């Protein structure tokens, strides 16, 4: 599966309509092109292994206020829920800022991909999302936190947004699945200062869980055993996004100071 047509054929074969198939293909092919293979074409094959795909499901915006929206994936893949959220923000940007909470939003793929879409449309965005617990406390014990990435994108008048997208894991779960990393390498990043990445993973997870609603708290050991599946319908993994209208254009000045150094999100 190496070209777009093959990817689209596979997704249509799973029951996705043209719009959703294109949305999913765009994400997987971009992840592949950026070297994030754990979120790339391997995921197309992974989708074919799931027995609970619901290609007919549609994410829903269940609450909309000027500064706050609540969404629910309603059984759709998290990719499609985030795509719908991004589309809605670009159609109706906030006057200043807006917080968006998305329940049943899993898997979410490359978070930087979604915030980059918003930055390409002129909006500042920060996004985090929860995933099955894989990171243990640096002192040991059972996994307590997902790799819970934080992605931040800032538009730039030079056309090249900055996109920071940091997972709190030293390796990705995709690397482990692909055999490129051992399971015991899936620890908070930071070496001697792994407690810092662990703290961020815990903080971001609880931020999402506390805003999702009570059912998120039910995520426990029994559930985690099945968390390799799409999961959106079973476990309440979710996402929290901040989207804002920029008041300034700080990226070109930072690029100038950085000389030619590669900045977050550059290819």
Rounded CA-CA distance 267/264 in Å is 9
Instruction: Give yes or no for residue 17 binding a copy of itself (CB under 8 A).
Output: no
Q: Taking a C-beta distance cutoff of 8 angstroms, is the pair 97, 114 a contact? A: no
Phi and psi for 240 in degrees, rounded to 5? -125, 130
User: Closest approach of Cβ 89 to a copy of itself, in Å?
Assistant: 14
Q: Closer to a copy of itself at the Cβ: 4 or 96?
A: 96
Q: Taking a C-beta distance cutoff of 8 angstroms, is the pair 183, 170 a contact? A: no
Give residue for tokens 């307590």: 144
Rounded CA-CA distance 194/197 in Å is 5
User: Closest approach of Cβ 244 to a copy of itself, in Å?
Assistant: 6
User: Closest approach of Cβ 84 to a copy of itself, in Å?
Assistant: 19
Instruction: Give yes or no for residue 139 binding a copy of itself (CB under 8 A).
Output: yes
Q: Closer to a copy of itself at the Cβ: 51 or 220?
A: 220
Residues 196-235 that bind a copy of itself (CB under 8 A): 196-200, 202-204, 206-207, 209-217, 219-221
Residues 152-171 that bind a copy of itself (CB under 8 A): 152-155, 162-167, 170
Collapsed DSSP state (helix, strand, coil) of residue 124: strand
Instruction: Give yes or no for residue 88 binding a copy of itself (CB under 8 A).
Output: no
Q: Give the total of residues touching a copy of itself (CB under 8 A).
A: 77
Instruction: Give yes or no for residue 51 binding a copy of itself (CB under 8 A).
Output: no
Neighbours of 82 (CB within 10 A): 30
Instruction: Give yes or no for residue 192 binding a copy of itself (CB under 8 A).
Output: yes
Q: Binder to a copy of itself among 8, 29, 99, 177 (CB under 8 A)?
A: 99
Tell which phi-psi region holds residue 140, choosing left (phi > 0), alpha (psi between -120 and 50) or beta: left
């Amino acid at each position: 599966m190496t070209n777009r047509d093959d990817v689209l054929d596979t997704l249509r074969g799973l029951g996705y309509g043209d719009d959703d198939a294109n949305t999913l293909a765009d994400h997987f092919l971009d992840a592949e092109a950026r070297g994030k293979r754990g979120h790339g074409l391997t995921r197309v094959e992974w989708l074919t292994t799931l027995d609970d795909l619901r290609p007919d499901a549609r994410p829903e915006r269940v609450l909309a206020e000027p500064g706050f929206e609540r969404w629910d994936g309603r059984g759709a893949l998290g990719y499609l829920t985030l795509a719908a959220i991004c589309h809605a923000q670009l159609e109706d940007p906030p006057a200043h800022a807006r917080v968006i909470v998305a329940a049943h939003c899993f898997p979410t793929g490359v978070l930087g991909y979604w915030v980059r879409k918003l930055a390409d449309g002129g909006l500042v965005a920060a996004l985090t999302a929860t995933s099955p617990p894989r990171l243990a406390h640096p002192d040991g014990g059972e996994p307590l936190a997902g790799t819970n990435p934080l992605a931040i994108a800032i538009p730039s008048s030079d056309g090249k947004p900055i996109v920071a997208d940091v997972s709190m894991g030293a390796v990705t779960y995709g690397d482990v699945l692909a055999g490129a990393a051992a399971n015991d390498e899936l620890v908070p990043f930071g070496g001697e200062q792994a407690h810092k990445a662990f703290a961020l993973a815990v903080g971001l997870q609880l931020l999402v869980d506390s805003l999702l609603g009570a059912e998120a708290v039910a995520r426990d050991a029994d559930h985690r055993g099945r968390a390799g599946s799409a999961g959106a319908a079973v476990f309440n993994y979710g996402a929290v996004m901040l989207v804002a209208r920029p008041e300034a254009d700080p990226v070109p000045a930072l690029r100038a100071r950085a000389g030619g150094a590669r900045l977050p999100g550059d290819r």
